[in-house]
Amino acid sequence: MLLKRVVASEGEQVEFREGRLLVDGEELEEPYVRYPCSWNLSPRRVEKDCVYVVGDNRNMPIENHHFGQTSKRRIIGVPLW
């Protein structure tokens, strides 16, 4: 089981620029990210019935972090606090 934050939904475009997360070209405010990163990821659109998830802990190289889009059917719950 993975615990990830949903940052974008179906049809939205996601991108990382020098560690800043952009959704549909707008930078997302992410006060929950404790350690800055310098990730770069070219823009990609979230597919139908999918969400885009990223973890809050980003102090590792982008290739070592498990994130990306996944089917909404895989969501089984939310954190209680």
Partner 1 sequence: MKIKHLLVSSVIVVAGIVVIITLIPSEEKRVKRQFALLSEWVSKSPEENAFTMLQKMKNIGTLFDERCEMKIPDQSLSGSYTRQEVSTYAGGARSYLSQLDLKFYDLHIIFPEKEMAKVNVTARITGRSTAGERMDETRELECVLRKLDKQWLFSQIEVIEVLKK
Residue 2 binds to partner 1 (criterion: CB under 8 A): yes
| Residue 68: strand pairing partners | 53
Q: Which of 60, 57, 51 is nearest to 78 (CA)?
A: 51
Residue 9 binds to partner 1 (criterion: CB under 8 A): no
Kindly indicate which of the ranges 5-13, 17-25, 27-35, 64-72 contains the residues binding partner 1, using the contact rule CB under 8 A: 64-72
Beta strands of 18-67 (E only): which ranges? 20-23, 26-27, 41-45, 50-54
Kindly indicate which of the ranges 5-13, 17-25, 26-34, 65-73 contains the residues binding partner 1, using the contact rule CB under 8 A: 65-73
Distance between CA atoms of residues 13 and 59, nearest Å:
23
Residue 39 binds to partner 1 (criterion: CB under 8 A): no
Residue 74 binds to partner 1 (criterion: CB under 8 A): yes
